[in-house]
Amino acid sequence: MAPSAIYYDEQQKPLGGAGAALEAISDAIDQINMLKGKAAGNKLPLIQAQATNIIIPPPSPPLSATSSTFSSSSSSSSCPGDGDNTSDHDLAPSLAENTSSTFDTTPQFDSDKDKSTFRDFSPSNTRIFAFYAEQHAKQTVAYNLSARARFHSASRVRPQLSIWEAMEKLNTLIDDSDPDTQLNQIQHLLQSAEAIRRDGKPRWMQLTGLIHDLGKLMLFFDGAQGQWDVVGDTFPVGCGFSDKCVFYEQGTFEKNPDWGHQAFGTRYGIYSPGCGVENLIMSWGHDEYLYLVVRDQSTLPREALAMIRFHSFYPWHREGAYMEFMAPGEGDKELLKAVRAFNPYDLYSKTDEVPDVEELKPYYLELIDEFFPNKKIKW
């Protein structure tokens, strides 16, 4: 039986005037913080304190199909997103702890690869285009609120599997959003981890490569609607869609109920410049799901959590969109550096030879034990 959840009407009613836009923004913030309060339990006072500092930006015109390139800003404020800052999770070390400067050295494994053959998002690839047309139409603020409510619901029975058991369970999945590989998932995970290992990167980063796609287990559990809310490039909801998102020019976002919305379709939407990328509500999928699972059940550092949560956020880490939401200072810059350091091992390792799973298993079982205190993970 599917877990109980709070659902909201995705069909937004027309709003008129600046007052209505501000009211819609305020309502969205209230809904988001209410859900965060239910999910966080004893973290409620912190969330309430954050909510009192939210700055509602003045309404700006809805984005047109040709005017969604955003500029950066240095101002800072709190945001109503679903992310948690470093102080919110107990196990993950800070940036200065348990990390190594070697994580962002230049990759060597892909030096002889033709990178132009990767991420071919031509509309003529009908399977990929159909996937993104559905994803872009359905990833709304309303859906994201309901998905998070399902995940955090006290009545949801969370399956318990070890990391390796999760990898084996995922092994039958072929990702409909990926134009670069037809390998099964355990092969891709080991390819990523082995490329990181061969380049001498830290052990925590090797493990991150091994587990980074395990959130795709969502497809086997109650709640996932299909591949569109599990895989694919991610983007923030609650603000204007960037033209750096794949297939934007083909109008794939125009069927989304939030397109042109008085609150969610504006440049900054329910956020404000400089609020911090960790506070954005990212489109629901395997990245966000695994991040929520791992942040509370591992000792992986903050860089690793960023690699997991944002590795599919290509409009940001590859195309330079949404930079206006990065917080001032070095914190978000370090996160971006970490995600960019990880990306080649996710993307360009897909053409490497198929790894020998049984030969590599003992090494990675030891690595898993190093960073996960409990054998069984609550998914």
3-state DSSP assignment of residue 282: strand
In the chain, what is the straight-line distance between the N-terminal and C-terminal CA atoms, in Å?
Answer: 16
What contacts 44, CB < 8 A, 6 or more positions away?
Answer: 37
What residue type is 329 in one-letter code? G
199 contacts 107 by C-beta, under 8 angstroms:
yes
Tokens describing residue 78: 């709190």
Backbone CA torsion sign across 234, 238, 242, 247: positive
Cα–Cα distance, 48 to 325 (Å, whole number): 21
The pLDDT, as a whole number, for residue 309 is 98
CA distances, 88 to each of 50, 91, 276, 290 (Å): 12, 10, 15, 16
Measure the CA–CA gap between 342 and 364, rounded to whole angstroms. Answer: 18
Structure tokens at 152: 């955090």
At residue 80, the pLDDT reads 55
Instruction: Determine contact, residues 217/166, Cβ cutoff 8 Å.
Output: yes
> What residues are designated binding site for substrate?
119, 175-177, 216, 232-233, 311-312
| Torsion 141-147-153-155 (CA) sign | positive
The domain ranges of the chain are 17-57+68-378
Helix (H) or strand (E) holding 335: helix 331-347
Q: What is the pLDDT along the chain (379 residues), one digit of tens a residue?
A: 333 332 233 333 333 444 444 444 445 545 554 444 433 333 333 333 333 333 333 333 333 333 333 333 333 444 555 554 433 444 555 444 444 447 666 766 555 555 455 456 576 788 899 999 999 999 999 999 999 999 999 999 999 999 999 999 988 776 555 554 557 778 889 999 999 999 999 999 999 999 999 999 998 887 889 999 999 999 999 999 999 999 999 999 999 999 999 999 999 999 999 999 999 999 999 999 999 999 999 999 999 999 999 999 999 999 999 999 999 999 999 999 999 999 999 886 566 578 899 999 999 999 999 999 999 999 9
For the annotated binding site, the residues are 119, 175-177, 188, 212-213, 216, 232-233, 286, 311-312, 346
Q: Which residues are annotated as a binding site for Fe cation?
A: 188, 212-213, 286, 311, 346
Locate tokens 């400067």: which residue? Answer: 101
The predicted structure's pLDDT at residue 125? 82
Type of residue at 224: A
Closest by alpha carbon to 134, among 240, 270, 274, 285?
285
Q: Which residues contact 41 (CB under 8 A, 6 or more apart)?
A: none
Beta strands in the chain (DSSP E): 160-161, 377-378
Task: Give the pLDDT score at 371.
Answer: 98
